[in-house]
Structure 1
């Protein structure tokens, strides 16, 4: 058995010399088998191992006996042991999660905590070939795609490994008998109130008796074939994801470009899933329903919003899809006003919103020598048309401007809508006013009222530099 597992580890490049591996140890047959095999292969693989046990406080006295068993086994084998107790029922209610999802989240948070604190670099879980078959059937009945049908991966993120995925449950039981090990048995595994248990106890035995006695091997073989096909599609979808997903990590906003939705649906759904996973740092909270909700949202009118798990909000902004947090804590609206007297222009830099402004006066400067279209962040104005003050502020209700080249006023709100400026960005855009009239919507438009003409003698130059 050790040779079979060792070969599987080598073939799948699961373990490297010098690895520190944390075994998820429940005390049951599978995890005891895994712990024992890795302990026996320890010198050959040149690794260190430890064990982590999470007491979910779900099974009364049995849960504490499991915990005691785990601690004693680790003492016997001289293996570092880490134990934590969490009331999963309480946690699931507080976080509005199923008990299964709550348990998984808490377990992996616990494992990651140990990895960071104790220097382990990999987590080994004790999934076996029967677990793989049960998972595939379970997902098939719920409705799934290629990713779901590929089942449990032998490794993930070069951190989570499944060294005994090659062993059937019967092989694990045989190993336990031969080694005279006495694992803890979870009685709930034999209760048919859970769908997974019904698959294990009823459906798979029925298929074995009536259709295919090797159904476990068959499903595992199918899983490997699908994983290869799915990996090819995934590699392509990642290229598309990198092309069409724009990330603003400071504001924690992801934007999926509208061009993405012209790609094949098989690619689009994967890109959406990758974006949600990347944004939330969670592999488990999103279903196909959520992905298709976003797909439908892309066809709706701008401004439509849907809410997803993990406090995520998804909005259609003129065909682009914005993924952000529902919390607005990270958005700071600068409602201050800074007024500079005309006589004080050029004496200091002005810091306002996300910009630094530098103002300078060009006396008796011919406008023919100026590049008036130099940049959206460099603008020139007729200084003599300013009576007293230059004012820096953010927008107010009813704000209007006379855009360059026009005679009549236009509402800022209409300009923002026409230029497809996202709602949450509008309050962050600085306005520069001369006296009481808007002269520049920074980065967007200037006013016709203060434009430089052939008759302009004194010119005000303003340079806006965006802060990093």
Structure 2
């Protein structure tokens, strides 16, 4: 079995020369077997080993004896030992989650803390072939796709490795008996109270007796085959994500063209978008993915709610992911007197704005900068106003005769709805003169009759 683990580690590239490996040591058969085998292989791989134990404080004296046993076996081997006691019952109640989930999160947090503080670059977890089979069955009952049917990976991000995933529970027990290791037995593993225990104690034995005595090996073989296929699909997904998705601090945009690719890739691109934007892996379900696909086929400006306070919006076929609180701009309007405007500077939103009155239009070098515009100063009666759009706003765009609603101009320019309130509107008296960066009014253009000109510059801060 030692050679079997060695070959599995090499085949899956789990350990490299000079690695520092922290073993998650509960004191049970799986983790004790893992520690023992890695200890016997430490010279072969030229690695340093440590062990970490978390006492969940759920089983009273039994849990204390588990901790003492884990400490003693490390002492005998000369392996560094780290331990921590955590009141999982309290954490579970405070966070409103199960003991299993609370325990898992606390364990991994402790392992990561110890690794960072002591230079361990790998964390070895004692999942075995039976754990793999149980996980696959549980995922199947939840209606999982191919990714869930891949089960447990031999390694994952963060330096997590599973060197004995190739061993069955029977092999582990035989190993512990042969070397007289006397591991601790968690009595709750023998009780039919948890979902996983029911799969372990009821479903798998039934499948063995009635369908396939080698069901553990069969499910592990299936997982290995599916992992190969899944890796290929994931590679295609990552390529499509880079091609069709654009991230920023405020939103993530899935381009409309993404919704024409194969659905097997598209669904993963959308799921990846959820995770990349939110930084969270939980609570996103297939129904949310299909809602986004349906949204892409809907009319523009339609929105749906997603987990973690995210909304998805159709903006001319592109799908924008953003947080609800980022939709509105609350800028107040600025009113300036025409007579005092020359060389004036003000701030509005993300802009610094300056005004210059010019008497000789022949000395002007007009700019192509969309943030710099020139207007007929004498057509302004009393005041200049800077504000966001209002219902009913209209203007006559340069070169046109009739007026047009600002709302329709925004739609023609395909400005996303959530950005429309952030676009400054410059008014002369009560008329819109400039939709900043986009359109100017024909009403205030410079002509042959113009005597005085006002130059207005919007410059973004920073």
Q: Does TM-score exceed 0.5, indicating one fold?
A: yes
Question: 172-181 vs 49-58, which deviates more?
Answer: 49-58
State the 1:11 CA deviation.
1.7
Tell me the equivalent position of 2:360. Answer: 364
Contact in 1 for aligned 2:304/2:312 (Cα 8 Å): yes
Partner of 2:263: 265
Distance 1:289 1:334, change over 3 A: closer
Residue 259 of structure 1: CA displacement? 1.6
Cα displacement (A) at 1:165:
1.0
The CA deviation at 1:423 is: 3.8
Shift of residue 12, structure 1, vs aligned partner: 1.3
**Deviation (angstroms), 1:406:** 4.5
Report the Cα distance in structure 1 between the residues aligned to 2:25 and 2:342, rounded to whole angstroms.
Answer: 69
- What is the alpha-carbon distance in structure 1 between the residues aligned to residue 6 and residue 108 of structure 2? 25
Residue 427 of structure 1: aligned partner: 421
**Residue-pair matches, total:** 461
- Tell me which residue corresponds to 1:455: 449
1:254 equivalenced with 2:252 (yes/no):
yes
2:31 maps to 31
Query: Gaps spanning 5+ residues in structure 1: where?
Result: none
Distance in 2 (CA, whole Å) between partners of 1:466 and 1:185 is 66
Q: Would the alpha carbon gap of residues 91 and 365 (structure 1) be closer, same or farther in structure 2, given more than 3 Å must change?
A: farther
Residue 286 (structure 2) aligns with: 288
Q: What's the CA shift for 1:349?
A: 5.7
1:352 to 332, 348, 351: 348
CA change 1:410–1:209 in 2 (3 A) is same
Greater alpha carbon shift after TM alignment, 344-353 vs 214-223: 344-353
Correspondence for 1:48: 48
Unaligned runs of 5+ in 2: none
**Tell me, what secondary structure is at the counterpart of 2:221?**
helix
Relative to structure 2, which stretch is displaced further, 207-216 or 263-272?
207-216
Native 8 Å contact 1:136 1:148 kept in 2 = yes
Query: Whole-Å Cα distance in 2 between the matches of residues 415 and 102 of structure 1?
Result: 53
Structure 2 CA distance for partners of 1:458 and 1:301, relative to 1, 3 Å: same
1:461 offset after TM fit, Å?
3.5
Alpha-carbon spacing, 1:94–1:295, altered in 2? closer, same or farther (3 Å):
farther
| Bigger mean CA offset, 233-242 vs 274-283 | 274-283
Superposed CA offset, 1:418-450 (max 9, x none): 544344323322233334443222223222332
Q: Which residue of structure 2 aligns with residue 148 of structure 1?
A: 148
Say if 2:335 is the partner of 1:335.
no
Distance 1:4 1:295, change over 3 A: same
Deviations 1:287-313 (A, max 9, x none): 333323333333344444443433433
Query: How many angstroms apart in 2 are the aligned matches of 1:40 and 1:349?
Result: 75
Give the TM-score, by structure 2 length: 0.86
Distance 1:55-1:367 versus aligned 2 partners, 3 A rule: farther
Q: Residues 108 and 316 of structure 1: is their aligned pair in 2 closer, same or farther, counting only changes over 3 Å?
A: farther
Q: RMSD of aligned C-alpha atoms?
A: 3.2
Deviation of 1:227 after TM superposition, in Å, equals 1.0
Counterpart Cα distance in 2 of 1:248 and 1:84: 41
Cα drift, residue 376 of structure 1: 3.5
CA separation in 2, counterparts of 1:405 and 1:243? 38
Give the secondary-structure state (helix, strand or coil) at the position aligned to 1:8: helix
Cα distance in 1 for partners of 2:60, 2:411 equals 60
Q: Deviations over 1:246-299 (max 9, x none)?
A: 1112x2x21212221111110111101111222233344433333233333333
